[in-house]
Amino acid sequence: MPKVKVTNGDLLQKEINRLKKRSRALEHELGDRVQYFKGNYGKMALNSVLPGSAKHSAFLGIAGRIAKVAWQSGKFKSLSTSALMTALEFAGVRLGINLFDKFRKGRSKKKKAKAAAEKEED
């Protein structure tokens, strides 16, 4: 709609009402778009992680429902949580060992280089 030049209070009130109606219409349109994305969000997220997964959506939907039911089970949740924590602890220990070993080897190389330099000076 074209711009309206407001010259008096009556035209101002009409323009305010028109803009309120327009904002409500835009809010409804935005709400419809959000509803559309809510419905397709899972597929979009999965397709962004695993391209082409939309082709196998029925299988993934079944697997997702099974995983959801399993996750709601207390025993499965505690088992998977403890397995994840064990894996993280193992990875952390291995990382710590590797870092310590790298640090130790670096110090050993420095000591050997220093000893060789002192030997050459003698």
In a domain, 62, yes or no: no
pLDDT at 102: 86
The pLDDT of 21-37, averaged and rounded, is 86
| Bigger pLDDT: 99 vs 66 | 99
24 lies in some domain: yes
Distance from C-alpha of 69 to C-alpha of 76, rounded to nearest angstrom: 10
pLDDT surpassing 70 at residue 106: yes
Residues 41 and 7 in one domain: yes
Residue 25: exposure state from Cβ atoms within 10 A (0-12, 13-18, ≥19): exposed
Report pLDDT digits (tens) over 46-81.
666 666 655 555 666 777 777 777 767 777 778 778
Cβ-in-10-Å burial (0-12, 13-18, 19+) of 57 comes to middle
Would residue 61 count as lying in a domain? no
Q: Tell me whether residue 115 is in a domain.
A: yes
pLDDT at 17: 93
Q: Which of 12, 34, 50 is where one domain is finished?
A: 50
- Regarding whether 45 and 4 lie in a shared domain, the answer is yes
What Cα–Cα distance (Å) separates residue 97 from each residue in 8, 100, 106, 115? 80, 5, 14, 27
Q: Is residue 58 part of a domain?
A: no
18 domain-assigned: yes
pLDDT at 74: 76
Asked if residue 22 has pLDDT above 80, the reply is yes
For the chain, the average pLDDT equals 79
Q: What is the mean pLDDT of residues 99-119?
A: 84
Establish if 63 belongs to a structural domain: no
- Structural domain that includes position 90: 75-121
Q: How many domains does the chain have?
A: 2
